[in-house]
Structure 1
Amino acid sequence: MTGPVNAKEGLFGAERAKAFIDAVVAIAMTLLILPLMESVAEASAKGENAGAWVTGHTDQLFAFVLSFAIIAMFWINHHRVFTLVERVSTALLWITMGWLLSIVWLPVVTAMVGQMPSTDRVLISMYIGSMILTTVLGLATILYLRAHPSMHDISRDRVLRWIAVDLAMIALFAVSLLVAVLVPVVSYFALFLMLFTRPVQVMFARAIGAGRAKPEDAATDD
């Protein structure tokens, strides 16, 4: 953003914002691997073989793969929105900073998930709750763009479909959290409820009057 694209409206070109978002997300995804790298060094110092390392760190491996997939899903959905954003405002940038903060937090809570009891209700709430926050901020981004059509080239129908996607994800994350807290033995496996995002999205789309869902509208679509 070298300067306002529209000084009267206080809008700026979106290219630097997009590059910054991609860089922060890439760093966050890379940080997920650090606890595993440390454990490899510890295993090597103890003379453990690869099989012993894998067996002893299944929780960390599961947490790494799950969080990597979750962040990838968040980024893909956000990328599909920002691809059509041509200008940004200070307000939109602050919403985006909040979204990035929730993304950067995930490697921290993922490290906790990989090393602390899977039945810890507080940790479960922190982990899945952070995903709800990320989705809520993604929804806030779309709602802001809907209210400021001069900033993007997104059709009304597509905006409504994306709103339906986020509403479906928020609902399923909330149900996953409820199940994981009430039935601790299920733990983070409750997040596999996210596989039902597409049918729940269709329900929300019908409720808000959105057009038929299309494959390009969500990372969770087939």
Structure 2
Amino acid sequence: MTTQAGHQVRAVAAERLTMFVDAVIAIALTLLALDLPVPTGDTTDAMLSSMSAHGSEYLAFAVSFVVIAAHWRAHHEIFSHVRALGGRLTSLTLAWLFMQVLMPFATRVLTADGAFPPRFSLYAIVQVLASASFALIIREIRRAHLYTTDVPPQVFAQSLVRSICLAAVFAVSVPVSFLTNGTGAYLCWLTAPIVLTVARRLGTVNSHDRHRA
């Protein structure tokens, strides 16, 4: 096999993995929607009342949809610069996908009856593992030099810092859920946009510093 042919085979393998990821994410989003409660009632008021009673389930669906979409978008952004697959990259991607597929189940647990801290913690831990596994994906791509030569220097730095910060936010929310039994834990999640803004700036600074060095 010539060098050029080998490069083409590795590029096709990376593209196939990306297509597989897209398919699994689509299934995860579908599973997320399948468990939405159907409003009941013979009148408009009864239907609206039923929808209001299931408001937490609808909100959890919306949040999880946004979260899964954000994970997919980050993966798509990184893999658009991947030129080949390394030994551990596929395994790490499968671990990351496992977290995405687990998210519909974690969403159902979050909105189920029972003690709040354990239910909340399961959802948060899934997010911690998803973000941590994605950080390992980025690290593996950089370590094995699996990216194209024209990739902007700040892309990997920003994504890595963002993943680590998100994992930290969700990890902190776990003990907070046991201490506050609700409100404080969700407030931790609301700090995520601020943390991501700071992470983006730190990633930009770090990438520029490495580039100058």
* Shorter-chain TM-score above 0.5: yes
* Partners of 2:161 and 2:203 within 8 A in 1: yes
* Partners of 1:98 and 1:137 within 8 A in 2: yes
| Alignment pair present for 1:40 and 2:38 | yes
Note the 1:135-174 alignment, pairs <5 A: 135-153=131-149, 154-174=151-171
* Partners of 1:176 and 1:193 within 8 A in 2: no
Secondary structure in 1 matching 2:95 = helix
**Once the two structures are superposed, what CA deviation does each residue of 1:6-46 show, in whole Å capped at 9, x if it has no partner?**
39xx946211111100010011011111121xx317x369x
* Partners of 2:135 and 2:163 within 8 A in 1: yes
* Partners of 1:161 and 1:211 within 8 A in 2: no
Instruction: Quote the offset at 1:85 in angstroms.
Output: 1.1
- Picking from 75, 86, 108, the partner of 1:89 is 86
The one-letter code of the counterpart of 1:132 is V
**Once the two structures are superposed, what CA deviation does each residue of 1:111-150 show, in whole Å capped at 9, x if it has no partner?**
1112224x52111111011001000010000000011214
RMSD in angstroms over aligned alpha carbons?
2.9
Distance 1:107 1:156 in 2: 35
- Specify whether residues 105 and 24 from structure 1 end up closer, same or farther in structure 2 by C-alpha distance, changes over 3 A only: same
Instruction: Quote the offset at 1:97 in angstroms.
Output: 0.3
Secondary structure in 2 matching 1:88 = coil
Deviates more, 1:146-155 or 1:21-30: 146-155
Identity of aligned residues (%): 24
Instruction: Quote the offset at 1:80 in angstroms.
Output: 0.3
Distance 1:193 1:203 in 2: 16
Distance 1:44 1:115 in 2: 22
Structure 2 equivalent of residue 190 of structure 1: 188
Alignment: residue pair count? 202
**TM-score, length-scaled by structure 2:** 0.82
Deviates more, 1:170-179 or 1:72-81: 170-179
Secondary structure in 2 matching 1:152 = coil
The one-letter code of the counterpart of 2:191 is L
Gaps of 5+ in 1: 213-222
The one-letter code of the counterpart of 1:26 is A
Higher helix share: 2
Distance 1:90 1:53 in 2: 51
**TM-score, length-scaled by structure 1:** 0.79
* Partners of 1:59 and 1:115 within 8 A in 2: no
Structure 1 equivalent of residue 113 of structure 2: 116
- Specify whether residues 185 and 49 from structure 1 end up closer, same or farther in structure 2 by C-alpha distance, changes over 3 A only: same
Structure 2 equivalent of residue 215 of structure 1: none
Structure 2 equivalent of residue 23 of structure 1: 23
Gaps of 5+ in 2: none
Distance 2:146 2:31 in 1: 36
The one-letter code of the counterpart of 1:32 is L
* Partners of 1:95 and 1:140 within 8 A in 2: yes
Structure 2 equivalent of residue 134 of structure 1: 130
Instruction: Quote the offset at 1:178 in angstroms.
Output: 3.3
